[in-house]
Amino acid sequence: MLAMVWLTAPLAAQGSLTLEDAIARAQKHSYAVQGIRHDSAAATLTYEAAARDRFPMLSLKAQSFYISNLQKITVGPINRTIGSKENYQTDLTLSLTLYTGGRLSNGINLQDDNRRAASMRLDAERMSIAYRTRQAYLTVLNSGALVKSAQASLDRVNIISRNVSNLHESGLADSLDLLEAELAVESARQHVRRARTEEKNARVMLFQLIGDPPDTALTLDENVPDPDLTVYGEIARSPKFDRPEVQQLEFTIRAADRASRIELGEYLPTVSGFVGYSYGKPNKDMFGNTWNDYFTGGVMLNWTLNVAGKTGKDVGAARQRAASARMARKELLDNLQKQRTMALNNVSHAYETVGNFRAEYDISRRQYDLAKTQQEVGRLTVNRLLELETDLTAAEQQYRSSIFNYYLAETDLLYAVGSPRIFGGLR
């Protein structure tokens, strides 16, 4: 059994990491998500605790004490001692709040709004992690494509260099051609090293998000579909925003309104009912020294008015906080509308760019193939062939990058409107 685990463990680390898997793992690893999840759980428990205020409250009070000297009353021939040296008293009281001027219900609803706002904050952080992971994943794919493009360029230049060496041996190329070919090979090698470094740095960013070392043997899914405007059309036709931050502010505004109503309730009295049971020695019997009990019940009215106007100031402050939350909501909606419009423009432009670079890459590839044939028969200079190879490499890089830039622009659009697509793959 131990041998099986040892053999299968390396295989488990050498799997494929899809975009959906990366987002799910980043959600699980994120300390921010975990912390806000605890905050959300705390807000839920606070709401549940506030809701318990509607239920009766049972209180128990017990005490025991000793009095060394007791008072005495003498009336004619009667001499009575008041109380007992040894005293035991137990009071059990059941109370229920009957009326608070709306403070109790608004307080419970306020905590419910806070609970919902905390839940939306958690959703907002989860969406932010998905957005960042999506960007990091696409950046790694882009840098990996650039590595392949640079390696392909090096391979082509090496072929050219060998061909130039053959031509030089045949007397069809001079030493200058050899030097130019060698310089081109060295430049291509540096390009490969630089591209690989950028890919390593991109993997560090991605694997930090998912909680794995950057040298983990995981391959990314390079099966990137051709860009289309499906998502663009869906979002362009629907101006709806599903960003959790908007809903979070909605609940924050509601909580602020509840707070102002609670402050208004300070103008009104509170009424509570109670029943009690008392047992002790001597209890209510001033002249006795025996155990006895009794029951009580009634209604209590408590009404406090601040004549200096403190309650009015508190109400005004609560209303100002509610107004501030409303302004924050308007500002957020304006910013999201701006982000949505800009993201739609960027996606449309990125789609057109992919088509343009695809056409340029196709032309450069056919031009290079034709030039290579001409150079092999001595009808084209080496310098010109190297220039065309550089143009082909640039066209290839631009075309590959344009595809990933399209999906990066699409990611910005999904995040701007809060689309659930951001948690999934590219299609």
Q: Rounded CA gap, 316 and 73, in Å?
A: 59
Residue 79: per-residue pLDDT:
76
Is residue 308 a part of any domain in this protein?
no
Give the predicted TM-score (pTM) of the model: 0.79
Q: In angstroms, how far is the first alpha carbon of the chain from the final one?
A: 41
Residue 396: per-residue pLDDT:
83
Asked if 138 and 411 touch (Cβ cutoff 8 Å), the reply is yes
Q: How confident is the prediction along the chain (427 residues), in pLDDT tens digits per residue?
A: 333 332 333 333 457 889 999 999 999 999 999 999 999 999 999 999 999 999 999 999 999 988 888 878 777 777 777 778 888 999 999 999 999 999 999 999 999 999 999 999 999 999 999 999 999 999 999 888 888 888 887 887 887 787 778 777 777 667 777 788 888 889 889 988 998 999 899 999 999 999 988 778 888 888 888 898 888 888 888 767 778 999 999 999 999 999 999 999 989 999 999 999 999 988 877 777 788 888 999 999 999 887 788 888 988 998 999 999 999 999 999 999 999 999 999 999 999 999 998 998 899 889 888 888 887 777 777 677 777 877 888 788 888 889 999 999 999 999 999 989 999 888 7
Is residue 6 a part of any domain in this protein?
no
Is residue 206 a part of any domain in this protein?
yes
Is residue 248 a part of any domain in this protein?
yes
CATH number of 108's domain = 1.20.1600.10
Provide the number of structural domains found in the chain.
1
Is residue 32 a part of any domain in this protein?
yes
Residue 7: per-residue pLDDT:
32
Is residue 165 a part of any domain in this protein?
yes
Is residue 236 a part of any domain in this protein?
yes
Is residue 3 a part of any domain in this protein?
no
Q: Rounded CA gap, 108 and 46, in Å?
A: 9
Residue 3: per-residue pLDDT:
35
Q: Rounded CA gap, 96 and 83, in Å?
A: 33
Cβ within 8 Å of residue 116, ≥6 positions away: 247, 251
Range of the domain at 195: 16-292+315-423
Q: Rounded CA gap, 6 and 12, in Å?
A: 11
Report the half-sphere exposure of 37 (CA within 13 A, side-chain side).
9
Q: Rounded CA gap, 424 and 421, in Å?
A: 5
